[in-house]
Structure 1
Amino acid sequence: MAKVGIVMGSDSDMPVMAKAADILDKLGIDYEMTIISAHREPDVFFEYAKSAEAKGFKVIIAGAGMAAHLPGMCAAIFPMPVIGIPMHTTSLGGRDSLYSIVQMPSGIPVATVAINGGANAGLLAAKILATSDEALLAKLKEYSKELKEQVQAKDARLQEVGYKNY
């Protein structure tokens, strides 16, 4: 059963949302990915958000651009955590999306990651799930160790070859 719902407003969001899915895949977390427009098909959206808990979702990752209502409306209906990913836009560089997602009214929180922050959304979902899953917590600790080792390897190369040859 999928523990995370990944929903996006358009297929143009796929490259960013795929980064969240990649993280969940790496950590062995089941998810379901869907494209739903909250504005163009509100009936489909409402059914998705209302049925998410019954499907077994514990977290929803919702990506949206421009008016970016998808994450906030998910949070208004789904009783568990929603993580919003603001999408970069050509007109306002994603600030429109960011403000739409982060400026939620009191009582309807949405955790918000950086503009195009798909990987961090996947990691945040995993960390939420790890609060009650020791095996997943161990995988997250291993992931952090790998990140540290990657930086150390880059520094070792820099020290070996110097910045001009890096």
Structure 2
Amino acid sequence: MGVFVSHTTFVIERDLPGSPAHAFRFWSEHARKRQWTSCHPDWAVLEDIFDVRIGGLEKVRWRTLEGVEHGYRAHYLDVVPGKQIIYAYAMNTGAVQNSAALATVEFVGQRGKTKMTYTEQAAFLDAADAKGRSQGTEMGFDRLALAIERSLAVAH
């Protein structure tokens, strides 16, 4: 029996405070990225590898309170500091692969701010929810903007 695959592409734009170099740090520095990507504080982190460079790997595995394991694996294809990141990633629940995607993040300075453009081309396997992915990504970027705002408030 084959696996049902659905495809989607979505683009999310965000105006972020500060420079592109500062916004880039929240994607490329481990502690800063976890400020906005750690959205399930009650999940146990089983593994957390973070190496943002061309050829680098980011891998995170979690266990829910119910004992279900979730995973995220990203391979960085292109990294230009302060400009762009291109990576391929996959997500799973237990041994079941949920999705695979190609993501591009672009940073452009505009009058003291950064326009971030995120483009994702994804393949969802079986019952994985494409709409839920874009909504979850939007929520993550809300946390990203807040983390950047907080970092700039502390600096001033």
Q: Which has the higher helix share?
A: 1
Query: What is the TM-score normalised by the length of structure 2?
Result: 0.35
Bigger Rg, structure 1 or 2: 1
Q: Which protein has greater RCO, CA pairs closer than 8 Å, 6+ apart?
A: 2
Q: Which has the higher strand share?
A: 2
Query: What is the TM-score normalised by the length of structure 1?
Result: 0.34
